[in-house]
Structure 1
Amino acid sequence: MAMSRAVRNPAFRQLRGQRSPGEFAAAVRRAAREIGEHVACDARYIGRVEAGEIRCPNYAYERVFLHMFPGSTLSDLGFSDREAVRGRGAHSTPTEPPDHPSHPHSGKNNEESDVLRRAFMAGGSAAMAAVSLGLGPAPVPSPRHAPHHVGEAEVSAVEAAVRQIRLLDDRHGADGLYQRAAQPLQAAYALLDADTARRSAADRLHAGAGELAISVGWLAHDSGRFDDARSYYAEALATARVAGDPALEAHAFCNTAFLARDAGRPREAVRAAQAGERAAKHLSSPRLLALLTLREAGGWAGLGDRMGCAQALGRAKSLFARGPSDADPEWMTFFVEAELEMLEAQCWSALGDWPRAARHAQRAAALQDIRFARNLALYRAQLADDLARAGAPDRAAAVGQQVLDLLDQDQVQSSRIQAMLAGTARRLLPQRRAAGVPDFLERHASAPC
């Protein structure tokens, strides 16, 4: 098939301004580091975008560009719709393969990537996910249809699926994603039984499958399906042990500790967090150890051990203060100062110190990036509940209205947040004469479940 003529991208060229392609590429790399992405952007890549050779960036570059230009869409940046680029006409113009911007695939690998994209996100986890991923419906292949030989295209597809699930969850919450998210996981584990050309690819595939299990487990966790979540986290832990992957093991224990706390098993939360700390001890990531120590603090709070909780919080803050590291796992991009404040708020809330909890929840909400609507709604829901318990019903109702705004706009779908807000509404019932409380209660009662 003849290759169509590339159409230049003047919108992207305008964004570069007076900077040289090399200077702009350096700015892209800096922005990527800010959000935990890794892109090999250089002057040649910028030139290819401006020349129209890259009609749509891969998912890593998409995250970086949208971070650099808040409020913009890919269309605003001069790119084509992903579905149009990767659909029937996708091979008429060269496009950038997922996660490897400097190394275009051969025709065979492009075909493999299309198959894997359909395998991993087929049918869409929700209409929103299907549109965001730019993928059309297709059945996930059964294990017997997995490729006989696994190479770069398959491994990259697993890693891309993990990133996109995380991105969609950050922005929208778990409820709209969970029902179909197990399909890409099934395909990933089918690939583990196939031959792998290189040991490095096999290691990446195990890590990717394990991270995918954790991502699906988190969607179950956040949507209130605790038994399902426990099973997925256990599957990820088993994968980590088989592969001898301490980073994956630490992540699995981190989420297991979080789940145990939410499920009312605080002693298990402490032990799982401590196991994660042991796994992460030699990974050179103070931020990872900080998060695991916060999980431990949450367990101590659940046990009513104020001293144990305070000590763990102190260690976590000291570790966090050491700053980010090149060894920080990619999945930890959510763990910024706002999340640190939120987790501390939850600890003091569990210990019954509502005013202190509210102060930390207020900081979390103020610090959170507004683009991540799910976390913003979560932090505000925590703040509303802490304010209600602390004897500030008017402020609680006002913050509760802000959470309902996010829910009403269909920006967020999370059973966790809905349950928290329902608890706040119950606590405010005796305070119906306080300013703003009747309006909040009426609106909450009429909101769709």
Structure 2
Amino acid sequence: MREQAFDPIKIPAQIWEREETRELLKRRDVPALLKLATQYAGASQVRIGAATGIAQSRISRYMRGLLQATDLDVYERIATGLGMPDHARVLFGLGVSHTDASDPIDDLQQRQQHDELTARLDAAASIDSTMVAILTVDTNNLRLMDRKLGAAAIADKMRAQSNQVQRALHHAVRPGIRTKLAHVLAETASLAGWQAIDMCALSDAWQHYEHAKAAAYEANDPALIAYVSGEQAFVLADLGRPAEATELLQHVHATYRSRIPALTRTWLSAAEAELAAILGDEHTCRTALDQAATLLGDTGHDPDMPYISLNPHHLARWRGSCLLHFGDPHTADELRSALAGMDGTYNRAEAGTRCDLAYALLAAGEPEAAQPHIHRAQQLATMTGSRRQRRRIDEVARLVKRALN
């Protein structure tokens, strides 16, 4: 291998242990010591000069005995350049290198890291099943607040909850508690993802879902994995990539179909229907909607999956939104039925439903009838801070205005 001028000089450790080398060091025999670098490290004068910071011409004169080294600084440069171990430096009349001596600042930083990690591990160790249950309730309460008030109103609470759960999970040691905390984090991150979609912050949404998936995998909950993966598909849809979103949803459905409860399969079927509608595939859309209705039954509520809000009224809302793409004459009736069944706590969802109904009425030649729904949808979108719904509402408002003029 070709010698590199700035490669460090490495004289084998046993050479420094030899009695003859020790005598050279005691005598400060610089020419002989420099020749050790040539003999045992294959170092040229140029390389020795680069390692010691001494000009090659002076190295040559030292080695030929034409110049005598007497300056302590020169001895220090030679010792450092030849990589003398501490015992050799002492024999050479120098102090130890202190390269391994601890830095007070580094010691302080290490102590602080030690204390910080210990504190976090102790805090996580205090979390038991009761505390996990409290965190679960907190996330569910945030979900309820989000439905009514929107993401902006609870942004600080969401950040605090996410940070608390994530910190607890990252420092939890007991496997059982880690699994439960991972489940809470997956739900919390998934909610944050949907809020980001609603705020049209799609890059943030994608990252939230990545965190949610990782937590869901650690929780080893197939239903939760399927749900957060399915929700992530809507980031692709909102990016204008519905084909990829459909492919992702179908993969999730096929992978977990036999391991997830009926409610999750219902949600996935309805989601597939929505994407099929965006793609203009009416047959697939209607088939998926019928499958969702069959799976849902009469109730749809599952206390073990509070993150899925899906009952016959919600499915009617979803169905109406899908059929809107195909000019179905029953769309307005579907959406009116969905509105009648809403309990007033899903303000953002109601804004979307009224927006869909306005589109349906406009398509049916009833722009006047669409106006009150647009007005109420605008109020709700403003109340919840929904940029996603506001864009759709503004678009249908322009279309209705044009139809009335």
**TM tier, smaller:** 0.5 to 0.7
Unmatched 5+ stretches in structure 2 = 1-115
Measured in 2, the distance between the counterparts of 1:279 and 1:369 equals 35
* Residue aligning to 2:213: 237
* The one of 413, 416, 430 aligned to 2:385: 413
Q: Distance in 1 between matches of 2:381 and 2:272?
A: 31
CA distances 1:188-215 after superposition (whole Å, capped 9, x unpaired): 2221222344x33221111011111101
Given the superposition, is the C-alpha separation of residues 250 and 407 from structure 1 closer, same or farther in structure 2, using an over 3 Å criterion?
closer
2:310 alignment counterpart:
335
Structure 2 residue matching 1:281: 3-state secondary structure: helix
Q: Aligned residue for 2:188? A: 212
Deviation at 1:323, TM superposition (A): 4.7
Residue 158 of structure 1 corresponds to: 135
- TM-score, with structure 1 as normaliser: 0.58
CA distance change for structure 1 residues 324 and 342 in 2, over 3 Å: closer, same or farther? closer
Deviation at 1:233, TM superposition (A): 0.8
Residues 1:255 and 2:268 are matched in the alignment: no
The 3 A distance-change label for structure 1 pair 265 and 201 is same
2:290 to 302, 306, 314: 314
Distance 1:363 1:145 in 2: 55
Q: Distance in 1 between matches of 2:254 and 2:200?
A: 28
- Aligned-residue Cα RMSD (Å) equals 2.6
Q: Match of 1:222?
A: 198
Compare CA radii of gyration and give the structure with the larger one. Answer: 2
Partners of 2:117 and 2:395 lie apart in 1 by 44
Q: 1:427 to 1:182 in 2, by over 3 A?
A: same
Percent of aligned pairs with the same amino acid: 25
Alignment of 1:417-436 (within 5 A): 417-433=389-405
The question of 1:377 aligning with 2:351 is answered yes
Distance of 1:274 and 1:285 partners within structure 2? 16
Amino acid at match of 2:144: L
Structure 1 stretches of 4+ with a deviation exceeding 3 A read 142-146, 322-328, 354-357, 404-408
Does structure 2 retain, via aligned residues, the 8 Å contact 1:171–1:371? yes
- Partner residue of 1:388? 362
Distance in structure 2 (CA, Å) of the matches to 1:161 and 1:326 = 18
What do the CA deviations read for 1:382-405 (whole angstroms, capped 9, x no partner)?
211232233210111122123245
Are 2:321 and 1:346 aligned?
Answer: yes
Pairing of 1:121-200 with structure 2 (within 5 A): 146=120, 147-149=123-125, 150-178=127-155, 181-197=158-174, 199-200=175-176
Cα pair distance change 1:307/1:224, threshold 3 Å: same
1:143–1:187: 8 Å Cα contact kept in structure 2?
Answer: no
2:271 alignment counterpart: 295
- Report if aligned partners of 2:323, 2:331 keep a CA contact under 8 Å in 1: yes
SS state at 2:187 partner:
helix
TM-score by length of 2: 0.64
Does residue 1:368 correspond to 2:342, yes or no?
yes
| Alignment partner, residue 47 of structure 2 | none
Aligned residue pair count: 287
Q: What residue ranges of structure 1 are gaps of 5+ in the alignment?
A: 1-141, 434-449
Whether 1:285 and 2:261 are equivalent positions in the alignment is yes
Does the aligned pair in 1 maintain the 2:230–2:248 contact within 8 Å?
A: yes
Specify which structure has the higher proportion of helix: 2
C-alpha contact 1:249 1:279 (8 A) present in aligned 2? no
* Matched AA of 2:142: I
Residues 68-125 of structure 1 show CA distances to partners (whole Å, capped at 9, x for unaligned) of xxxxxxxxxxxxxxxxxxxxxxxxxxxxxxxxxxxxxxxxxxxxxxxxxxxxxxxxxx
Aligned-partner Cα distance in 1 for 2:373–2:327: 19
Tell me the distance in 2 between the aligned counterparts of 1:267 and 1:143.
45
Deviations 1:352-410 (A, max 9, x none): 426443332222112111243332222112211232233210111122123245457x4
